[in-house]
Amino acid sequence: MDHHQRWHPTVNEREFIERALQSDLRVDGRRPFDFRRLKILFGREDGSAEVQLGDTRVMGYATAQLVQPYKDRPNEGTLAIFTEFSPMADPAFEPGRPGESAIELGRVVDRGLRESRAVDMESLCVVAGKHVWSVRVDLHILDNGGNLIDAANIAALAALSTFRRPECTVGGEDGQQVTVHDPEVRDPLPLTIHHLPIAVTFAYFGEGNIMVIDPTYKEEAVMGGRMTATINSNGDVCSIQKAGGEGVMSSVIMQCLRIASVKAADITSKIKNEVNSYTSAKALQKVKRLPASALKKDNAPDVAMKESSDGALETQSTKPSSDGQQINKEPPSVVEDNKQEDVEPMLSECNPEPQSESRLTAGGSDETQEAISPKSLKDAVKPKHKIKKKQHSKINV
Amino acid sequence: MEYVNPLTGFRVDGRRPNEMRQLKGEVGVVARADGSALFEMGNTRVIAAVYGPREVQNKGQQVNSKDALVRCEYRMADFSTGDRRRKPKGDRRSTEISLVIRQTMEASILTHLMPRSQIDIFVQVLQADGGTRAACINAATLALADAGIPMRDIVTSCSADLNYIEDSAGGPDVTVGFLTKMDKVTLLQMDAKLPMDTFETVMDLAIEGCKAIANYIREVLLENTRRLECQRDH
């Protein structure tokens, strides 16, 4: 029992909230089927997202590692959701073992994602029966302002949408050797996400006659029952959780599902927009960074290559503006080109401004980039001995 | 895999598409408990015991002094499934099912009539063959009735499978907990992706199942009351 310390409304408070709801008014001024303001923030690293839904704050963090698959699913990766209800967020959360509500939240988010096959698991397989990617999403509740499930679900989706796993290839003599490429050498790959299952929570009051969407902390303390419907933007029901509580008519449930599907479409587009702007911003950073490394390179550029690759590069440099998703797929080819010693041509394409100017800016930004991420893309481009030299000189200074 | 034979129209186990499994309910199977029941749905077999209303053991757990505290523990016997491996106590699945059963029973128990007391429900799965959650709720209802705990309605539960209606792969499973007299759904759990109107069909089928189970449970309880009456007369 983890809810015994939970805030309990006084009789007056309870009556006030219930009376107001009877005339379609909510304590925070929303209408019954309005969500609170949703804000999605992304961390510096791929796969981390923080969701703010009113006062509720949840952080999602996706990571992956290579593991042996389950015996009954030898060619599928795994996805696991872990929840952390920190006592910081709510006095009712006890440190130590996850409580009932933490487990329920994890299971609801997990079922919504997994049973609806939202994330393609087969693409996470490296060697069938030997190595698959195990994706783990950690959900940290930072502040409990009510309706944790919806916020946590959005956090998980945002984290998974921006998550990139390292690319790996299979080779060796027996064809079983797995090489995991450093993210600096080959650009990490995004997950294949078929659809976004959005959790929409309803709270029931009275004798199941009054219902609201996205209950706040205070409304949760007063409500008689709750139902979470996980629906994607196509209107497919991915999972439903109504764990007892006040009974409702089956017609009301169908009405809830229809409302939920409208809300799910809104939230889906919100998440997609946020993710797209994040990925395109990230991709732009990468494109800007390349000139610096190229101009510092001593090797003479291969002029012939430049001529031949012009056409292809032209298309590359125009693409990013049109589609954010596309960009992240491009860089791997860029890096591979670089390895073949024709760094210069493509970079001059990417950077339309005059060379002298870019040289200046490159010199200035070089230092800061070095400080932020010592192992940047250009290190991968540079020959090994050069990196070492640089480090030496730094130590001497 | 085909769930319904296209030629005969029967399922793998010989039932018709919307035919329920054989039900069996027995009251008073645990001597020391205030109320107990055994419930079978086909090969799924569940035993439930109810203790209470009694004094609250751990005062810290008391939510408020106006209502009775309901607790529930769901356990799956190690021998209940095909593979006999020891399952850790309090894993995520059983913790969630405990919560679900507790809240479902709370919806029907008149907790305000028993302030400052606690009711413990223990459910143990002896044999698992699908629909354990539903069988547990039915067993708990029977046991609560046996213990004489006041309830506003009989909660029954039934799960329906899409496979038996349409012949599609995957295993979407809908479990419904239903308050029969009030005609209201208290428990609803579903996984797997379904279009909305298909879901409605499956839910309606599960509700029909719940109504049939409610009739059966009433019969069992009535039979039990008659037996008790006979015993008193002699």
pLDDT in tens, B152-185: 999 999 988 655 444 444 566 789 999 999 899 9
Residue with tokens 């001059």: A348
pLDDT in tens, B39-59: 999 889 999 999 989 998 888
Query: Does A358 score more than 50 pLDDT?
Result: no
pLDDT in tens, A30-76: 999 999 999 999 988 889 999 999 999 999 999 999 999 998 889 99
Nearest CA in chain A to B203: A250
The rounded distance, in Å, linking the Cα atoms of A97 and A4 is 16
- Lowest model confidence (mean pLDDT) among A127-141, A303-317, B77-91: A303-317
Radius of gyration of chain A (CA): 25
* Amino acid residing at B231: Q
The rounded distance, in Å, linking the Cα atoms of B33 and B66 is 25
φ/ψ of A90, rounded to 5, equals -160, 130
Q: Which two tokens stand for residue A123?
A: 């693409």
Question: What separation in angstroms does the CA of A329 have from each of A45, A195, A357, A371, B167?
Answer: 17, 20, 29, 26, 39
DSSP run (H or E) holding B24: strand B23-27
Q: Write down the pLDDT at residue A330.
A: 41
Residue-averaged pLDDT of chain B: 86
pLDDT in tens, A217-243: 999 999 999 999 999 988 899 999 999
Q: Write down the pLDDT at residue A378.
A: 46
pLDDT in tens, B93-109: 889 999 999 999 998 99
Question: Which residue in the set B99, B103, B185 is minimally distant from A248, CB to CB?
Answer: B185
Question: What separation in angstroms does the CA of A280 have from each of A183, A285, A286, A319, A357?
Answer: 18, 9, 10, 11, 24
* Mean pLDDT in residue range A90-96: 83
With CB atoms and an 8 Å threshold, state whether A249 touches B100: no
**% of chain B exceeding 90 in pLDDT:** 52
pLDDT in tens, B113-155: 999 899 999 999 999 888 888 999 999 999 999 999 999 999 9
φ/ψ of B53, rounded to 5, equals -70, 135
- pTM confidence score: 0.78
Q: Write down the pLDDT at residue A310.
A: 45
Q: Write down the pLDDT at residue A290.
A: 56
* Amino acid residing at A126: V
- Compute the residue count for chain A: 397
A291 falls in which pLDDT band (50, 70, 90)? low
φ/ψ of A139, rounded to 5, equals -115, 115
The answer for residues whose C-beta is within 8 angstroms of residue A271's C-beta and 6 or more apart is A40, A154, A157, A158, A161, A196
B10 bridge partner residues: none
The rounded distance, in Å, linking the Cα atoms of B123 and B143 is 10
Whether complex ipTM tops 0.90: no
With CB atoms and an 8 Å threshold, state whether A103 touches B96: yes
Residue with tokens 């870019």: A358
Query: Does A169 score more than 50 pLDDT?
Result: yes
B86 falls in which pLDDT band (50, 70, 90)? confident
With CB atoms and an 8 Å threshold, state whether A236 touches B193: yes
Strands (DSSP E) found in chain A: 38-42, 48-53, 56-67, 78-85, 125-127, 131-143, 164-165, 168-171, 177-180, 189-190, 198-205, 210-213, 225-231, 236-242
Query: Does A373 score more than 90 pLDDT?
Result: no
Q: Write down the pLDDT at residue A216.
A: 94
Question: Which residue in the set A100, A235, A246 is minimally distant from B99, CB to CB?
Answer: A100
HEC-encoded secondary structure of A135-196: EEEEEEEEECCCCHHHHHHHHHHHHHHHCEECCEEEECCCCCEEEECCCCCCCCEECCECCC
User: What fold, for B23-233?
Assistant: Ribosomal Protein S5; domain 2 (3.30.230)
Query: Does A276 score more than 50 pLDDT?
Result: yes
Nearest CA in chain B to A243: B100
Q: Write down the pLDDT at residue A91.
A: 84
Residues in A touching B177 (Cβ below 8 Å)? 244
* Amino acid residing at A28: D
- Compute the residue count for chain B: 234
For residue A277, how many other CB atoms are within 10 A of its CB? 13
Q: Which of B170, B234, B155 is nearest to B202 (CA)?
A: B170
* Mean pLDDT in residue range A318-322: 41
For chain B, where are the alpha helices, taking DSSP H only?
92-108, 132-146, 196-233
Q: Write down the pLDDT at residue A155.
A: 96
Query: Does A294 score more than 70 pLDDT?
Result: no
Q: Write down the pLDDT at residue A288.
A: 62
Residue-averaged pLDDT of chain A: 77
Q: Write down the pLDDT at residue A44.
A: 86
A83 bridge partner residues: A139
Q: What share of chain A is helix, strand, coil (3-state, %, to 5)?
A: 45, 20, 35
Q: Does the beta carbon of B104 lie under 8 angstroms from any beta carbon of chain A?
A: yes
Question: What is the DSSP secondary structure assignment for residue B60, as one 8-state letter?
Answer: G
Residues 323-342 of A with CB under 8 A from B: none
Q: Write down the pLDDT at residue A321.
A: 42
* Amino acid residing at B56: V
* Amino acid residing at A346: M
Q: Does the beta carbon of A245 lie under 8 angstroms from any beta carbon of chain B?
A: yes
Q: Which of A210, A255, A205, A242 is nearest to B186 (CA)?
A: A242
Q: Write down the pLDDT at residue B1.
A: 52
Query: Does A292 score more than 80 pLDDT?
Result: no
Residues 224-243 of A with CB under 8 A from B: 225, 227, 232, 235-243
- Lowest model confidence (mean pLDDT) among A3-7, A245-249, B60-64: A3-7
Question: What separation in angstroms does the CA of B122 have from each of A97, B113, B227?
Answer: 22, 21, 25
DSSP run (H or E) holding A295: helix A250-296
Q: Which of A208, A250, A205, A201 is nearest to A227 (CA)?
A: A201
Q: What are the structural domain ranges in chain A?
A: 11-275, 367-397
Q: What is the secondary structure of B199-210 as a DSSP string?
A: HHHHHHHHHHHH
Q: Are the beta carbons of B159 and B173 closer than 8 angstroms?
A: yes
Instruction: Return the biggest CA–CA distance within chain A.
Output: 83
Q: How far is B64 from chain A (nearest CA, A)?
A: 9
**% of chain A exceeding 70 in pLDDT:** 71
The rounded distance, in Å, linking the Cα atoms of A128 and A178 is 12
CA angle, A242 then A248 then A253, to 5°:
70
Nearest CA in chain A to B177: A244
φ/ψ of A247, rounded to 5, equals -80, 150
Residues in A touching B182 (Cβ below 8 Å)? 247
With CB atoms and an 8 Å threshold, state whether B195 touches A237: yes
Q: Which of A105, A114, A110, A100 is nearest to A141 (CA)?
A: A105
Nearest CA in chain A to B186: A247
Q: How far is B190 from chain A (nearest CA, A)?
A: 5
CATH of the structural domain A11-275, one choice from 3.40.50.740, 3.40.50.1370, 3.40.50.720, 3.30.230.70: 3.30.230.70
Q: How far is A189 from chain B (nearest CA, A)?
A: 26
Q: Write down the pLDDT at residue A353.
A: 44
Q: How far is A10 from chain B (nearest CA, A)?
A: 11
Residues in A touching B179 (Cβ below 8 Å)? 247
Q: How far is A158 from chain B (nearest CA, A)?
A: 20
Residues in B touching A100 (Cβ below 8 Å)? 95-96, 98-99
